[in-house]
């Protein structure tokens, strides 16, 4: 999931309108921000099928630190405490942690039973409802989920920026769900990780510019 994570950010900011936008925009993307660094460091791994562009063919073989429910949530207390210290607010730190948790919960809807629960142990349970197995439906439902959430919780003055910018970012990912190319244009794990990081940097900037 990509743009769908910003539905969670919209809900958090609607519930807590006094909260600063930046830490919330970062929080909902946090696992996918730290994940590329762990891939480059060799601490987590992913397999990218060069002969298939679909997201469902990407195999997240190991990502216990960034994407496990328990260990990942514990580790995310560090940036949550940092956010609380920067903004001198325990409330902001708590919202940051909630934003990180929302990432795992939403990923569990689309991932293909590869999300670790504990984050340690050879018998760790992996979950995922597998919406990515139906890529075209997944593509449509992710943006629909985001758009409906925005329409329900965001001020009307933000509709154009959020819905239009969100759609544009979502379309950047269209080849991963429709397979217009025969080969994967990314090709390698590090390139895939870099693309994810760049995508979220743009998403954070877009969301900050739109939610005000």
pLDDT digits (tens, 9 = 90+) for 149-192: 999 999 999 999 999 999 999 999 999 999 999 999 998 999 99
Q: pLDDT above 90 covers what percent of the chain?
A: 97
* Residue 148, SS3 per DSSP: helix
Could you tell me if 94 and 24 are in contact, meaning their C-beta atoms sit under 8 angstroms apart?
no
Tens of each residue's pLDDT in the chain, 212 residues? 999 999 999 999 999 999 999 999 999 999 999 999 999 999 999 999 999 999 999 999 999 999 999 999 999 999 999 999 999 999 999 999 999 999 999 999 999 999 999 999 888 999 999 999 999 999 999 999 999 999 999 999 999 999 999 999 999 999 999 999 999 999 899 999 999 999 999 999 999 999 98
Could you tell me if 53 and 175 are in contact, meaning their C-beta atoms sit under 8 angstroms apart?
yes
Q: Is the dihedral of CA 108, 102, 104, 70 positive or negative?
A: negative
Residue 122: what pLDDT? 85
pTM of the model: 0.95
Residue 43: what pLDDT? 97
Averaged pLDDT score across all residues of the chain: 96
C-alpha to C-alpha distance for 124 and 39, rounded to whole angstroms: 20
């Amino acid at each position: 999931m990509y743009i769908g994570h910003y539905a969670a950010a919209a809900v958090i900011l609607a519930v807590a309108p006094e909260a600063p936008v930046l830490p919330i925009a970062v929080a909902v993307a946090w696992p996918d921000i730290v994940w590329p660094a762990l891939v480059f460091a060799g601490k987590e791994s992913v397999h990218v099928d060069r002969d298939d562009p679909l997201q469902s063919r990407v195999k997240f073989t190991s990502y216990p630190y960034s994407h496990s429910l328990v260990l990942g949530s514990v580790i995310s207390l560090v940036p949550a405490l940092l956010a609380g210290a920067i903004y001198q607010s325990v409330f902001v730190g708590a919202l940051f942690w909630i934003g990180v948790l929302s990432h795992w919960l939403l990923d569990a809807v689309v991932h293909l039973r590869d999300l670790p629960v504990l984050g340690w142990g050879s018998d760790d349970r992996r979950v995922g409802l597998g919406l990515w197995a139906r890529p075209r439906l997944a593509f449509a439902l992710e943006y629909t989920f985001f758009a409906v959430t925005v329409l329900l919780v965001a001020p009307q003055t933000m509709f154009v920026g959020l819905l239009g910018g969100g759609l544009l970012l979502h379309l950047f990912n269209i080849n991963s769900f429709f397979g217009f190319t025969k080969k994967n244009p990314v090709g390698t794990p590090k390139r895939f990780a870099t693309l994810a990081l760049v995508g979220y940097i743009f998403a954070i900037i877009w969301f900050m510019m739109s939610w005000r």
